[in-house]
Each structure stands twice: as structure tokens, then as C-alpha cells.
């Protein structure tokens, strides 16, 4: 799904060192490409989609080259500035390996996007929700965010920007998906706790909460749902493209958002309005 209207005008992020988890597909990949277009150096963390991750790295490099008036000659470090590392981010050992890569490639971080997560398209009423399903959701959606955010903060020695991915489910709940909504609600509280804690270190912490987004993860649900009913609940009348969510992520990583912290930025076409 392409964006309507003119191309997005991006803030300058020249040389910023940014790590994006879940960056091989969907919202994460869209953010990686926009960050490359804005001049950032980007590391991608992913779980197992090796081909998608490799393609995302190549696309990011291409976006960086296209941005430079001198092409490849003006981007001597392009190949090293975009890379991908596989791992299960709910495991401390995999997170340690990921950040060893960060140290080798970047020597620190200026920005972190905690995007890795899962969602189960199948309804799970509470009386049928297995403890194993609950535990997996919390490990992937919450424990991984704790482990990676902690490691990212330890490498932000000159301030930084943290953006975590939440959901409309965190704002209003989601019947038959209580484990997912609970994990994302915890992200909101985590964000609001870290903002005053890290503010004195010039680190901002915000969350982006999408509604329906046209991604691989949402495709099964969108395919099985009544699309007219979904669109009827979105005042803008469309399901978001991944780029619609990536844009606010890039904004929050930029100096344009330097005085914005502890906020949950809702990107849902008006379907959930929070004061």
C-alpha cells in the first residue's frame, strides 16, 4: 500500500546510530528505510526472517546512496552502516550478542526503536487462554523490550531517543486478545516510567500506538474480517500503510521531538481518541 500525496519530507538524522528491533518486515522495515533516507546509520534486529532482513539491509543501503548527491563515492561507509543480526530478544544471551554487534559497528547508540513483537490472529477467550500462550506473549512483547531497552540505554552516552511500539489495544483493550492488550498496556506504563527516570540524562522515551496496519502480521486478520466494518470505525477511511507509522517513529527520533517525552502517540486514523 503506497502513501497518498507527495513524498514525506524527512528531518535530518545524519550519522545518528539507531537500532531497530523487528526491522526485517512491516513497520520496523518501513522505519529502517525512512531512517536511511534521513541519513541515519541503522542496525536491524530480527528473529528468523533471514531473507527479509538481508533485503531490508540492501534497500536501506540503496536509500542512503540515492540520498547522496555523490552516490557511492559520497558514502564510503555505507556497507558498514547497515547490518542485521538474528536472535530471540526474550533471551538475555541473544540480547548480549546483539549489543556486542552494536558495539563493534557503532560504538554506541543515539536512538532505539523497540518494535519486535507478536500478535495472535485467533481469538483466545480468557477461559481458553493457556498459560503457555500468556507466557510467550509476555516474553516476546515485554521481556524483550525490557532487555533491549536496558542495553540500549547503557550505550547512550551522549543522550538519545527511545521509541517503543504500543497499540490501540493498550488504550481500549481488545476482547479475546487480553494477553496482547496487557503486554502493550505494560509498554505504555514502561514508557511513562522511563521518561522521568531518563530525562535528566537527555534521553527521551515515547511510544507509538498504531491501529490497523497493512502488514504481514495483520494480513490474516484483515483477510478474514469485514473490511467495510473496519474502515467504518476509522474516520480517515483507510487502513494504515507501514510508512504511516514509520513517519511518526522517525519524527520522535529526531531533534524536532527533543522536548517530547513520556507520550503515547496514537497513529490510528482517528479510530481511538485519547485525551
* Cα 203 off chain centre by: 17
Tell me: pLDDT of 214 over 90: no
What are 34-90's pLDDT values in tens digits?
999 999 999 999 999 999 999 999 999 999 998 766 554 445 555 569 999 999 999
Could you give the C-alpha distances from 215 to 75, 202, 246, in angstroms and in order? 31, 33, 12
3-state secondary structure of 208: strand
List for the chain the helix, strand, coil content (%; round to 5): 50, 15, 35
| Residues acting as catalytic residues | 180
User: 3 — phi, psi (to 5°)?
Assistant: -75, 140
Of the pLDDT bands very low, low, confident and very high (cuts 50, 70, 90), residue 3 is very low
The answer to whether 106 and 124 are in contact (CB under 8 A) is no
Q: Quote the CA–CA distance of 34 and 246 in Å, as a whole number.
A: 7
Q: Note if the pTM is more than 0.85.
A: yes
Amino acid at each position: 500500500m503506497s502513501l497518498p500525496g507527495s513524498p514525506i519530507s524527512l528531518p535530518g538524522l545524519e550519522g545518528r546510530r539507531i537500532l531497530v528491533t523487528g526491522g526485517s518486515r512491516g513497520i520496523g522495515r518501513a522505519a529502517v528505510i525512512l531512517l536511511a533516507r534521513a541519513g541515519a546509520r541503522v542496525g536491524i534486529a530480527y528473529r528468523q526472517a533471514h531473507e527479509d532482513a538481508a533485503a531490508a539491509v540492501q534497500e536501506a543501503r540503496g536509500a542512503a546512496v540515492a540520498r547522496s548527491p555523490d552516490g557511492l563515492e559520497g558514502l564510503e561507509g555505507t556497507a558498514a552502516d547497515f547490518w542485521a543480526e538474528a536472535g530471540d530478544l526474550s533471551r538475555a544471551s541473544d540480547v548480549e550478542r546483539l549489543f556486542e554487534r552494536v558495539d563493534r559497528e557503532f560504538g554506541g547508540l543515539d536512538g532505539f526503536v523497540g518494535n519486535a513483537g507478536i500478535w495472535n490472529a485467533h481469538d483466545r477467550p480468557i477461559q481458553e487462554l493457556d498459560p503457555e500462550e500468556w507466557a510467550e506473549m509476555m516474553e516476546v512483547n515485554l521481556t524483550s523490550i525490557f532487555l533491549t531497552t536496558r542495553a540500549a540505554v547503557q550505550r547512550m552516552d551522549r543522550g538519545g531517543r527511545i521509541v517503543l511500539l504500543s497499540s490501540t489495544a493498550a488504550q481500549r483493550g481488545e476482547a479475546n486478545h487480553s494477553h496482547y492488550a496487557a503486554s502493550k498496556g505494560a509498554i505504555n506504563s514502561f514508557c511513562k516510567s522511563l521518561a522521568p527516570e531518563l530525562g535528566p540524562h537527555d534521553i527521551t522515551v515515547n511510544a507509538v500506538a498504531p491501529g490497523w496496519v497493512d502488514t504481514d502480521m495483520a494480513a490474516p486478520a484483515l483477510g478474514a474480517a469485514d473490511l467495510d466494518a473496519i474502515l467504518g470505525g476509522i474516520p480517515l477511511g483507510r487502513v494504515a500503510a507501514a510508512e504511516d507509522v514509520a513517519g511518526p517513529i522517525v519524527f520522535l527520533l529526531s531533534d524536532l521531538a527533543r522536548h517530547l517525552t513520556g507520550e503515547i502517540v496514537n497513529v490510528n486514523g482517528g479510530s481511538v481518541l485519547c485525551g
